[in-house]
Structure 1
Amino acid sequence: MKDHFTADFKAAPYWWERSPRPQLEQTSLPATADVAIVGSGYTGLCAALETARAGRSTVVIDAADAGWGCSVRNGGQISTSVKPDFETLARRHGAEAAFAILKEGHSALAWIGDFVAAEGIDCDFKVPGRFHAAHSPRHYERLARAIANQPKGLEVPAHAVPRAEQQRELGTELYHGGVVYEKHACLDPGRYHQGLLDRVLAAGASVVPHCAVTAIERDGAGHRLTTRRGTLRARDVVVATNGYTGSPTPWLRRRVIPIGSYMIATEALPKAVMDRVMPTERIVSDSRKVVYYYRASPDRSRILFGGRVTSGETDPRHSGVLLRREVVRLFPELEAVRISHSWMGFVAYTFDSLAHAGTRDGVHYAMGYCGSGVSMASYLGMRAGQKVLGRAEGRSAFDGIGFPTRPLYSGRPWFLPASVAFYRWRDALGF
């Protein structure tokens, strides 16, 4: 197994090479604040940026390093973020709500590009488009039919790529064509997070790492947060914990499903090899339910490849070997490729495959991005901050649609191994 890894292999995100873990000045937990935000990923920092710039004293608390969770462990791929299609959403919520939810996905994608530019965040933001590959002929037909019959008012620039033309998008024979979504984007998630953190601190907010919250309780007109480092009283609270939602917020914990998402970075590859296997700048995903997603690194020196390769959670060294096997299966000429980095992070799925935002018992929340959270987490974090400020634009189409759970579920996904095995079986049959 050791031949699969480079001599300088790291069981840590590739993104940390350019953006090491932030070394924040030692900050004591204040006794009071206008706004307390639990979680320092994209959601929490974008909420903090809104409230701090509006003059509210804002404290961001995290159980670990700032941004230690999946905000700096994802693949940096950016889509419209909403997984269910219009018909599915219309059956659940009605046509008007379905339209509004999908429009929020479009808005989130457009917003993040504008935001990065306006803030001047240097994070290798690009709009190369995404090639969504069909893992069976049936899926190609379904994808091509979907982009040819987009709901009026919800059209996005996209085009089908039949299998005969697939090599211009990806140097593999294993797919059956696919669809290019032309406006999908990417960035370096570590640099993006660092840019957010720098701007939140410059706005005057406090960020207190290694300060796990153990309880959140109503306290008169505000809330009392009990932490490992003392007690904080705040008028408003935003919970932005996504895949790391825990016991202090049991109602939310029962509604998100933490799922490990695993990634590797290959060692640096010759330019000619990269140009053959990944001839464009596009990000890539496939149509399987247990999906793989991958891209070239921002400097096009290596492949960053992610997905779920085991039914339960596992060690990144083990998942790294399994992900490498998928890389070689797709691109046989990479049989000798080694892994320089292997890592994982927890994303949060929901029972209806939608993100959710709202307020419960006076506590604001936004979470459940279902593995597509770079733009949506940032966007809904911004909206949560606006909501705290009492601004009407803080309300989104995700508010008020109901946040479902299941009987007997308390936050530990005991059903996950069986679910993954079932969907992997369906994928193998081409469904």
Structure 2
Amino acid sequence: MASQSDDIFTSDFKTTPYWWEAAPPETVLDPLPSQADVVVIGSGFAGLNAAIELARHGKNVVVLEANELGSGGSTRTGGMISSGQKLVVGGAIKGISPDLFGKMIADSIASFAFIQELVQREALDADLFIGGRYFGAHTKKQLSSLYEMGDILHRVTGVTVHKVKRDEQAAIIGSTFYHGGILVDEYGGVHPGKYNKALRDLARKLGATLLSHARVMSITPHTGGGKTVNTVRGVIEAQEVLVLTNGYTDTLATPNLAKRIVPVKSYQIATEPLPPELMAKLIPGGRMITDSRRDLIYSRPSPDGTRLLFGSRPGIMDCDDKTAAFKIRQRMLAIWPELAGYRISHAWSGFVAMTHDKTAYAGLMDNARFAVGCNGNGVALMSWLGYRTAQKVLGTEERPLSFDRPTFRRIPLYDGRPWFVPFVSGWYRLRDAVDKRLD
């Protein structure tokens, strides 16, 4: 049984994201303007990229955030970025026509290029790193499945995939926990806190207004052809409204959209600073790490290379972040037992947005344009979707967005409260345990 002693925590332990140490969220309580060309709801990667593109083209843009600016899912993520791998790895290839799937892959690959070009062009302080991601096989049987998936990834997305045997993986991960795996070169990461702050700064530089603690209560059309945005801080009249809230989509302002998105809580911990020689052993090359479990883990070094960050669900049921830290730490120690003598400095959680078919969606609903559904792969994709949604407003799209589809199916028996997540999580864990027992 896992120890519940507070000895595993540093004296300054925090239940806020490690990322906030370098780039904390902001409170901006300036008065709301009475009108805007475009109101963007959400100060995450999608909302800020939309605001940047709109302001760059002369639009009067107001970004509204229900809480502090940059306090939502975008700065609670692991900060990993990829191209089209998640569509294949997550199973989205099932049930989608080959033509549409090909277009989704193209958009996903474009998102990977977009975030790199944006960071480089604007000289954003985001700690961008492209070094690859390792997918470890939890069981011997799953190794062959990973190899097959690697072949599909290479064929469908064009990424470079290395098939790694168990006795070869020490150059990638300092652990014998996995039975081998695949290494995908076109994978990387950013510091999501710094990236969000850099986007906020760029949006303001271009003329956008960013306001915190302005939860939207309703969006209603008015006779002038625009929209009335009612917030807890007042009313704004706008010609266009963009809802880019992903895992934080509100059942009050956007009830129909909320019934199509499942917010799933993801938890992470950060270790205290580790000796450089230990970090070099844990993850040589500083790559991103994940595995083949249904209830998977994800891990990476901090961008400065001093700490290990580790993410997972703590169990079937959600819990507070400190309680989760005990359970997540045990999963981390199963892979790297040598970390038992080191303490946890941060534990936090955030919501990712899941959809019924594991793909993103864009379109019109609840009197606004929307783009949501990162399915745990949102850093590059949501940045791209925000940019592309802005293009739709501006009329500058060169081609239709693949995720903009006429039908976004509701999830049966779902009213916006994810009551079934513990059952799904329990089923995933049970199947993982059976797979391991039969290995």
Tell whether 2:36 aligns with 1:33.
yes
- Offset at residue 356 of structure 1 (A): 1.1
Q: Can you give the 5+ residue segments of structure 2 that lack an aligned partner in the other structure? A: none
1:370 aligned partner: 375
SS in 1 for 2:398: helix
Tell whether 2:399 aligns with 1:380.
no
Look up the equivalent residue of 2:306 and give its one-letter code.
S
Q: d(CA) in 1 for partners of 2:236 and 2:85? A: 35
- Offset at residue 402 of structure 1 (A): 2.7
Q: d(CA) in 2 for partners of 1:326 and 1:146? A: 25
Which of 4, 11, 15 aligns to 2:8? It is 4
1:302 aligned partner: 307
Look up the equivalent residue of 1:244 and give its one-letter code.
Y
Tell whether 2:336 aligns with 1:331.
yes
Q: d(CA) in 2 for partners of 1:93 and 1:292? A: 27
- Offset at residue 403 of structure 1 (A): 1.7
Q: Deviations over 1:354-412 (max 9, x none)?
A: 11112236511111101110000100000011111122337311111632222221110
Q: d(CA) in 2 for partners of 1:294 and 1:154? A: 23
2:215 aligned partner: 212
SS in 1 for 2:31: coil
2:17 aligned partner: 13
SS in 2 for 1:92: coil
Tell whether 2:196 aligns with 1:193.
yes
Please tell me whether the aligned partners of residues 385 and 394 of structure 1 are also in contact (alpha carbons under 8 angstroms). no
Q: d(CA) in 1 for partners of 2:93 and 2:15? A: 43
SS in 1 for 2:435: coil
SS in 1 for 2:162: strand
Q: Percent identity?
A: 38
In structure 2, relative to structure 1, the CA distance for the partners of 1:149 and 1:260 (3 Å cut) is closer
Q: d(CA) in 2 for partners of 1:38 and 1:200? A: 14
Q: Deviations over 1:211-235 (max 9, x none)?
A: 1111111112111111101111111
- Offset at residue 311 of structure 1 (A): 1.8
Q: d(CA) in 2 for partners of 1:262 and 1:42? A: 19
Which of 226, 230, 235 aligns to 2:230? It is 226
188-197 vs 357-366, which deviates more?
357-366
Look up the equivalent residue of 2:58 and give its one-letter code.
G
Look up the equivalent residue of 2:38 and give its one-letter code.
V
Which of 317, 332, 353 aligns to 2:322? It is 317
In structure 2, relative to structure 1, the CA distance for the partners of 1:232 and 1:82 (3 Å cut) is farther
Q: d(CA) in 2 for partners of 1:106 and 1:117? A: 17
- Offset at residue 81 of structure 1 (A): 5.3
- Offset at residue 89 of structure 1 (A): 5.2
What are the equivalent positions in structure 2 for 1:257-276 lying under 5 Å apart?
Answer: 257-276=262-281
Look up the equivalent residue of 2:267 and give its one-letter code.
Y
In structure 2, relative to structure 1, the CA distance for the partners of 1:399 and 1:206 (3 Å cut) is same
Q: Deviations over 1:232-251 (max 9, x none)?
A: 11110000111111121011
1:115 aligned partner: 118
Look up the equivalent residue of 2:74 and give its one-letter code.
S
Q: Deviations over 1:171-207 (max 9, x none)?
A: 1111111111101011100000000000001111111
Look up the equivalent residue of 2:272 and give its one-letter code.
E
Please tell me whether the aligned partners of residues 258 and 348 of structure 1 are also in contact (alpha carbons under 8 angstroms). yes
Please tell me whether the aligned partners of residues 154 and 160 of structure 2 are also in contact (alpha carbons under 8 angstroms). no
1:403 aligned partner: 408
In structure 2, relative to structure 1, the CA distance for the partners of 1:336 and 1:91 (3 Å cut) is closer
SS in 2 for 1:238: strand
Q: d(CA) in 2 for partners of 1:419 and 1:147? A: 26
Please tell me whether the aligned partners of residues 321 and 349 of structure 2 are also in contact (alpha carbons under 8 angstroms). yes
SS in 1 for 2:37: strand
Please tell me whether the aligned partners of residues 85 and 157 of structure 2 are also in contact (alpha carbons under 8 angstroms). no
Q: d(CA) in 2 for partners of 1:364 and 1:258? A: 19
SS in 1 for 2:33: coil
Please tell me whether the aligned partners of residues 99 and 154 of structure 1 are also in contact (alpha carbons under 8 angstroms). no
Which of 131, 134, 159 aligns to 2:162? It is 159
SS in 2 for 1:248: coil
Look up the equivalent residue of 1:423 and give its one-letter code.
Y
Please give the TM-score of this superposition, normalised by the length of structure 1. Answer: 0.96
Please tell me whether the aligned partners of residues 384 and 394 of structure 1 are also in contact (alpha carbons under 8 angstroms). no
Please tell me whether the aligned partners of residues 73 and 248 of structure 2 are also in contact (alpha carbons under 8 angstroms). no
Look up the equivalent residue of 1:138 and give its one-letter code.
K
1:340 aligned partner: 345
Q: d(CA) in 2 for partners of 1:82 and 1:152? A: 11
Look up the equivalent residue of 1:180 and give its one-letter code.
L
SS in 2 for 1:198: helix
- Offset at residue 20 of structure 1 (A): 2.0
Look up the equivalent residue of 1:57 and give its one-letter code.
N
- Offset at residue 147 of structure 1 (A): 2.4
Q: d(CA) in 2 for partners of 1:33 and 1:169? A: 50
What RMSD in Å do the two structures reach over aligned CA positions? Answer: 1.7
Tell whether 2:77 aligns with 1:69.
no
Please tell me whether the aligned partners of residues 82 and 354 of structure 1 are also in contact (alpha carbons under 8 angstroms). no
Please give the TM-score of this superposition, normalised by the length of structure 2. Answer: 0.94
- Offset at residue 22 of structure 1 (A): 2.6
Which of 45, 55, 72 aligns to 1:42? It is 45
Q: d(CA) in 1 for partners of 2:93 and 2:335? A: 37
What are the equivalent positions in structure 2 for 1:271-286 lying under 5 Å apart?
Answer: 271-286=276-291
1:235 aligned partner: 239
SS in 1 for 2:177: coil
Please tell me whether the aligned partners of residues 83 and 353 of structure 1 are also in contact (alpha carbons under 8 angstroms). no
Please tell me whether the aligned partners of residues 256 and 366 of structure 2 are also in contact (alpha carbons under 8 angstroms). no
Q: d(CA) in 1 for partners of 2:326 and 2:280? A: 24
In structure 2, relative to structure 1, the CA distance for the partners of 1:248 and 1:119 (3 Å cut) is same
State the number of aligned residues: 430
Q: d(CA) in 2 for partners of 1:226 and 1:299? A: 42
Look up the equivalent residue of 1:33 and give its one-letter code.
A
Look up the equivalent residue of 1:22 and give its one-letter code.
E
1:250 aligned partner: 255
Please tell me whether the aligned partners of residues 89 and 149 of structure 2 are also in contact (alpha carbons under 8 angstroms). no
- Offset at residue 340 of structure 1 (A): 0.4
- Offset at residue 30 of structure 1 (A): 1.0
Please tell me whether the aligned partners of residues 86 and 98 of structure 1 are also in contact (alpha carbons under 8 angstroms). no
